Amino acid sequence: MTNCNKFLSYVFIIPGILILFACNHNGGSPEDNTGKIHVWEMQEITLNADGVYNNYYTDITCWVDLKGPDFSKRIYGFWDGGNTFRFRIVATKPGQWEWASGSNQPQDKGLNGHSGKFNAVDWTDAELLQNPNRRGFIRASANGHALQYADGTPFFMVGDTWLAGTTWRLPFRNAASPDNYVPGPGIGFEDAVIYRKKQGFNSVSMISCYPNWEADGNANTYADDKGLFVRNAWEKFDYLTEDGRVTSKDMRDELGNKPFKMSETHKGIADFDKIIPEYFQSLDKKMSFLSEVGFVPLLESVRRDNCPVWKAYFDFNESYSRFIQYLISRYGAYNILFSGIHLDWIPKEYSLTADEFNEVLTYHLDKYGPLPFGQPHTTLINNSTYRQFGHDKQCPWLTMHSVGNKPRDHRVSGALDTLFNLKPAYPAINFEPYYTGWNHEINKPNNERPPANSVRDNYFSRAQMYGSVLSGGLSGHVHGTAAYDITSTGEPEGMRPHIWEALKYESANYMQHLAEFILSEGGRYQALEPCHTYLHPQKAPGSPERGLDGWAYMMRTKDKDLALLYFENQSVMPEVTGFVPGRSYSFQWYNTLTGEWFDQVIIKADEGGKLVIPVFPDGKNPSVTDWAAKIKG
């Protein structure tokens, strides 16, 4: 395996067939090699098929049955080129673990009948502090509304949008980033990750691959000779086709590999039954690095525009679910959130329907089961996963809801409130909010398009951060900029900026303040519930529904002993009701630009449970900027 930092002394070897080893994906160093296998530390088993097959990717389904304390599941392997199959596993608890291999090719002695045992140990307290991923994989909190590590430690997602970060556009250099690094031309993957980590981020969102995208002489959006659209790709600016149209961004890996071979029958279309493992070996390095620095990425399968021809020319349910399982088998032993489809838009020509995606992801669930180590399965979505797929048994594969892309204004609040009140409760998040610097019709609150990285531009981003979380999106928030497509070194920026310029937008600095505010009382935020109707008024007179000014938000615990509030620019001072009559509360303003708390003051609820809160720190009513606040009693 690539980027493996240490081999443990405890290994199983059957000559020429099998190796079990541990890779250090949780932040230790080679000199820590003690021969121990830790919980939540990826182990890899390698088997070599004896037989010769026409297509190792489609002809073979193989697995290990893994058993340990409170765990017994089938873990599927993946083809990694030649006759090599790999199985990535983790021990979820300390103790004795064992595995046994099998496949759909029972005569193949290289894949069947092998077994092994190992003992897993806990991390020490000091080791846990080095990397939060050692606390176990992400899952829903006990009440279903938020996320936490397996040991119960809250996980509040502080994410960034690097959709093309899986490709050469943000190359993995296998080199340390300078301590004083400032983003610029020549930026590498590690540079960008460490830069964001210093700003408090713990996640990035990436699409695994873009099979039909290439700077190939065709337009970025084009149909084949049967009228089926091959792609609806992001533009490679200033690279024109013969008829003067812009071609597609090229999305190979750093070595020039594509994710699939190209079809010999359908020109310009990937052969979705012939995967190229070398592309994903490049992605392995990035996923490993993210794990090592404590990140929990959102890994998405493909963008929706690849799927109309996939369904037209292939056995879609079988082929697509095989690919979904390939990604889960390859990356499911990392701490990830998984998205079965990047469904940012659902146009008839450039996408399948939500029902078609629901069908194929349910097919995958029925055939292979859920992610074996319990991470959430979600999707990036246009408007709302509930609106597109439903809930619970209507989409049994979905375990985490989201909103995103459209709308990017106050209307998001209602969608998140709906998600919060679903039964059973699922975690929810806004994966695609307002993007700083993006000049696009869907990114104009109240039809306003401020200059990139201006005070107003960054304010819109900040308003979506707090408004989304305090409308019920307690899983965290994903920041976005106009450089989501990663226009990189050697390319003109066109109508979207270079990635190194967008990384320096001020809006990203506000994300750490959001997390500090939400986590200021530890994990107690997970018990908050939307209570906007107890703000009188919640909406300033004349404040537009399609804008991001003048609204206020409040979430509060059932016991009414903690509330978090956010007031947008141009909010009016409200009466705050529904608190315990006669109880005294501490009140504290929070500066969303700087992350600074103001001094606490004591306020007391009257006999009706109403609180009179202090004036906005800017001394104006309506406010002339946005503010957050905490009420505790």
Identity of the residue numbered 423: K
Q: In whole angstroms, what is the distance from residue 400 CA to residue 402 CA?
A: 7
The Cα 165–Cα 169 span in angstroms is: 7
Question: What is the C-alpha separation between 552 and 410, in angstroms, rounded?
Answer: 10
Its pTM surpasses 0.85: yes
Length of the chain: 633
Instruction: Please name the residue that has the structure tokens 């010999």.
Output: 264
Question: Mapping DSSP to helix (H, G, I), strand (E, B) and coil, where does residue 17 land?
Answer: coil
Residue 154 CA from chain centroid, whole number: 16
| pLDDT recorded at residue 7 | 30
DSSP letter for 303, please. B
Task: Say how far apart CA 160 and CA 499 lie, in whole Å.
Answer: 12
Give me the domains of the chain, ranges plus CATH numbers: 13-130 (2.60.40.10), 153-520 (3.20.20.80), 531-632 (2.60.40)
pLDDT of residue 373: 98
Per-residue confidence (pLDDT) for residue 35, from 0 to 100: 61
Closest to 410 (Cα-Cα) out of 382, 385, 433: 433
Across 233-357, the runs of DSSP E, i.e. the strands, are: 235-240, 246-248, 260-262, 270-275, 298-300, 337-343
Low-confidence ranges of the chain (pLDDT < 50): 1-19, 21-34
Q: State the pLDDT at residue 524.
A: 98
CA 529/CA 10 separation, integer angstroms: 49
pLDDT for 36 equals 85
